[in-house]
Every structure is written in C-alpha cells, then in structure tokens.
Amino acid sequence: MKILLGIVVVLVGLLACALFFGSRLPVQHRARMQARVGAAPAAVYALVTDVGNTPAWRKDVKSVELLGAEGNTSGFRENGKHGVITYRIEAAEAPHRFVTRIADTDLGYGGRWTWDIRPDGDGSLVTITEDGEVTSPLFRLLSRYVFGHYASIDSYLQALVGRLGGSAPQRLRD
C-alpha cells in the first residue's frame, strides 16, 4: 500500500510540476517553415485551397466536410490524426495567399495558418506561418518540448512536396 501511495504522490508531483512550468510559457507562438515546390503558384494554390480533396494527398487526414458560408467566410471540418477540427477560411487570394483559423474554442489550442505562395524559378516557394495559441498549460509544455510547434507545418509541407515534388521543408526565423 505504501508503494502505491508513493507512486501516486510522485505522479501527482510530476503533473503539478508540468502544470507549473507550462503555465510559465507564453500562450502565443509563431512558427514558420518553407519549402520549394515543383509546381507553379496557381497549381499549388489550387491544391491547397481544394480542402475537400485533402485526404487524397495527406495521409494524416481521413475525411473533410465542407461547411456553408458564415457571413463572408466559409469553412471545413477535418477529421484526422488529431481528431475532428473545424476551420474557418479567413482569406483566399489566388494564387498567392490562403489563411485559415481554427474555429473550435474548446481544444486547448487554436490559431491561424497563413500560406504564402511565390514563384521560384519553374516552381514555387511556399511559406506557412502558424500564429498559434495554446491555452492549456499542460499541452503548452508538451507542444513546446515534446511535439514541437513545427510538427504540423512540417508534416503538411512534406505531404505537399510528396504530391508536387520539390525540396525538404526548412524552418524560418522571424
């Protein structure tokens, strides 16, 4: 019984430490990555903005449900590796800029992704900027030191390069 109690005390202590240190990290973060993609900006933009067909080229997405317009914006619900997440499209400026925001408010995290697509020789330079916020102190600690703020962008760009060709994604500094 003492051993079990000791294990519980240690686990509660670890959780308390994780919550404490997580609460000391900033809620907001910015992560930027870019990759050279082997297609013209119009082709890249068409693929990125055709969110309904995302499961055809991203292994981490099972399905996408397109949602009706709310005001001047539309959205979609993505069922993937991280569960079901609803996104609102904030800007779609062909063929260079696409902006989405997580519409769900109960996930413990949220934020906006901005795609910047520019000509680069016979291909395109694609930059994704994540302006994120992590409200849960525990998830903030994990996303900073375990998962990393760049993991989702890296996975997305790897899939984009896998579909259209190009070079490995690279982190950018602000």
pLDDT single digits (tens) 115-166: 999 999 999 999 999 999 999 898 888 888 888 889 999 999 999 999 999 9
Q: What is the mean pLDDT of the chain?
A: 91
Q: Architecture of 2-172 per CATH?
A: 2-Layer Sandwich (3.30)
Share of the chain above pLDDT 70, in %: 97
Q: What is the pLDDT of residue 55?
A: 97
Distance of CA 103 to the CA centre of its chain: 13
What are the tokens at 137? 């102190």
CB 143 within 8 A of CB 28: no
pTM of the entire structure? Answer: 0.87
Name the pLDDT band for 77 (thresholds 50, 70, 90).
Answer: very high
Query: Has residue 71 got a pLDDT over 60?
Result: no
Q: Which residues of 140-149 are buried (b: 16+ CB within 10 A; e: fewer)?
A: bbebbeeeeb
Query: Do 11 and 84 form a contact (C-beta atoms < 8 A)?
Result: no
Backbone angles phi, psi at 91, to 5 degrees: -155, 140
- DSSP annotation of 132 reads E
